[in-house]
Structure 1
Amino acid sequence: MPELQWMVALLGGLFGLMLGSFLNVVVHRLPKMMERQWAAEYAEMQGTEPVTAEPFNLLLPRSRCPHCGHQIRWFENIPVLSYLFLRGKCSACSAKISPRYPAVELATGALFFLCLWQWGPTITGLAWCGFAAALLTLALIDWDTTLLPDDITLPLLWVGLIGSALQWTAVPLFAALWGCVAGYMSLWIIYWAFKLLTGKEGMGYGDFKLFAALGAWFGWEALVPMILMASVIGAVVGIAMKFSSGLREGGYIPFGPFLAGAGLTAMVFGPNAILHAIGL
């Protein structure tokens, strides 16, 4: 039995490596797809013709080097191995390839390994694999662009509720439903209180939806430890970036990556472990 468990987890990890390569594409292209959609909608409202461009989605065009336009061949796109073989450089122009690409692949593989190790090749294990992939993708997109796409947050929320109803997760539907409500409303109230006091927006609506999704997956009881962890780590990182002059224009950092990190921590160790980790 342990041998079978290892085999299943390893196969899941290998699949995670391959999916991680696709997640890199999603992180890069989905925000650009959203921008194109907004531009087209704006042009329609203005009564003008939208700018025509080549098809751009998660499948087309094929991946290219952003520096020289070299089309990535299949053997240059093998997760982690191609990066090592190419020594982190484009085969055509020798421009550096960001180490984040293999890091995302390894992180996805590790998360899938952990999910299938803990829950096995079950619908529960697959659901948590999807949860992990969604949070990792959201964290990276938000860090890069301060966007949390509805195309990911809303399905994540609904799958959490459906998973609870079908007993894919251990969270009762009552707790998942009120976790969803409490997650959204708590940040919504904080948002408006901060805006009324300062006249500034402290976070975006995507954060509300992401926290609501976490409530659906873990139940309302887990919201407090997760928001505490996200807030404490976010504050520490923000202070460190301020002193190192690493803050972007406007002096802010997105909150979504820290919510996602708290969600992944709760998945791996359990929500109560977060309280112990921050000394509560």
Structure 2
Amino acid sequence: MFRIPKGISIVKPNSFCPCCKKPIKWYENIPLVSYILLKGKCSACRKQISIRYPIVELVTGCVFLYLFIQYDLGLEFFFYIFFFCSLIVISGIDFSYQIIPDIFSIPAIFIGLIFQIVKGNFVLGIVGAVFGGGLILLIRVIGGWTYKKEVMGLGDVYLTVMIGAFVGFPLIIASIFIGASVGAILGIIYIISTHQTRESPIPFGPFLSIGGAAVIIFKPQIIHFFALLGINL
């Protein structure tokens, strides 16, 4: 999340403190444990380590545990691990830098379609990808015409195509609905609490990701909820 937006290789150099540039030893890089032992500070310069690191590590750990409980070490486990980790990385980058690198979302689209082929749902995967990406692209175009500025980036379009490829149709409908609803609620809270204006940029990628994750984790409940509304998924 830190390296890609800054054009730094994810292979070299080894992990380092973004403040003092001191290399981080392996035992200072253990997820959650090292953050607690170091009391949230760099061992060299004593500058505060961003709280985002342990949050991401905790969320990722919970995702691994949930998927293992649900799917053991079956094929779905590995595909969903890739999907959820992609959502986490994309959300972190979009939240911090308001960009969604294509290097993550575009390859993940093809992985998602391969997943649907394995499940025997290739057509639903294609329809989900096209519908999701097409809807967000339509919003982007209409929003641009209406407000005379970019309201959603192409990164959001590719991200929704990726989510649609993984969750398929019609779950992509619920995914976008959940993402938009959460985004609207939290966006309003953010604007009010920080005294921002409606023109203040708010990254939409994390909310789209929440929608994509939700339809996987809460699939039976979501299908039941929409059925109560008279919408069959």
TM-score computed with the length of structure 2 as normaliser? 0.91
Shift >6 Å, 4+ stretches: none
Which residue in the other structure is 2:52 paired with? Answer: 100
For the 8 Å contact 2:179–2:210, the answer to whether it is kept is yes
In structure 2, runs of 5+ residues without a counterpart are none
Residues in 1 aligned to 2:185 and 2:220: alpha-carbon distance in whole angstroms: 20
> Aligned in 2, Cα 1:249/1:83: closer, same or farther, shift over 3 Å?
farther
* Structure 1 Cα separation of the partners of residues 210 and 59 of structure 2: 12
**Counterpart of 2:83?**
131
| Residue 192 (1) aligns with residue 157 (2) | no
Residue aligning to 1:267: 216
Q: Which residue of structure 1 lines up, in the alignment, with residue 104 of structure 2?
A: 152
Q: C-alpha displacement at 1:144, in angstroms? A: 0.8
Q: CA RMSD in A?
A: 2.1
What SS is found at the alignment partner of 1:187? helix
Q: Does the CA-based 8 Å contact 2:116-2:166 persist in structure 1? A: yes
Structure 2 counterpart of 1:120, from 54, 58, 72 = 72
- Aligned AA (1:228): F
1:68 to 9, 16, 20: 20
Q: Secondary structure at the match of 2:61?
A: helix
Once the two structures are superposed, residues 32-63 of structure 1 have per-residue CA deviations (whole angstroms, 9 ceiling, x without a partner) of 11xxxxxxxxxxxxxxxxxxxxxx30021222
Displacement of 1:65 in angstroms is 1.8
Identity %: 34
Determine if contact 1:226/1:274 at 8 Å carries over to the other structure: no
Determine if contact 1:247/1:253 at 8 Å carries over to the other structure: no
- Residue 272 of structure 1 deviates from its aligned partner by 5.3
Matched, 1:226 2:175: yes
Whole-angstrom distance in 2 between the partners of 1:272 and 1:186:
24
Distance 1:246 1:98, change over 3 A: farther
Q: State how far apart, in whole Å, the 1-side matches of 2:47 and 2:160 are.
A: 38
Contact 1:191 1:203 in 2 (8 A): yes
Cα distance, 1:99 vs structure 2: 2.0
Q: Distance in 1 between matches of 2:79 and 2:197?
A: 35
The separation in 1 between residues aligned to 2:144 and 2:220, in whole angstroms, is 30
Per-residue deviation at 1:122? Answer: 1.4
Matches within 5 A, 1:16-95: 27-33=1-7, 56-95=8-47
Q: Give me the whole-angstrom Cα distance separating, in 2, the residues matched to 1:249 and 1:92.
A: 41
Look at both structures and tell me which one has the larger radius of gyration over its CA atoms.
1
> 3-state DSSP class of the match of 2:116?
helix
1:172-210 Cα deviation digits (max 9, x unpaired)? 111111111111111111111111122121101111111
Q: What is the CA distance between 1:274 and its match in structure 2? A: 7.4
**Letter of the structure 2 residue corresponding to residue 256 of structure 1:** G
Gaps of 5+ in 1: 1-26, 34-55
1:118-165: CA deviation from partner (whole Å, max 9, x where unpaired): 111112111111111000111111111111111110121111111111
CA contact (8 A) 1:62 1:71 kept: yes
Q: In the alignment, is the contact (CA less than 8 A) between 1:226 and 1:271 conserved in 2?
A: no
| Deviations 1:2-24 (CA, angstroms, capped at 9, x unpaired) | xxxxxxxxxxxxxxxxxxxxxxx
Q: Distance in 2 between matches of 1:76 and 1:212?
A: 37
| TM-score, normalization by structure 1 | 0.76
Q: 1:234 to 1:274 in 2, by over 3 A?
A: farther
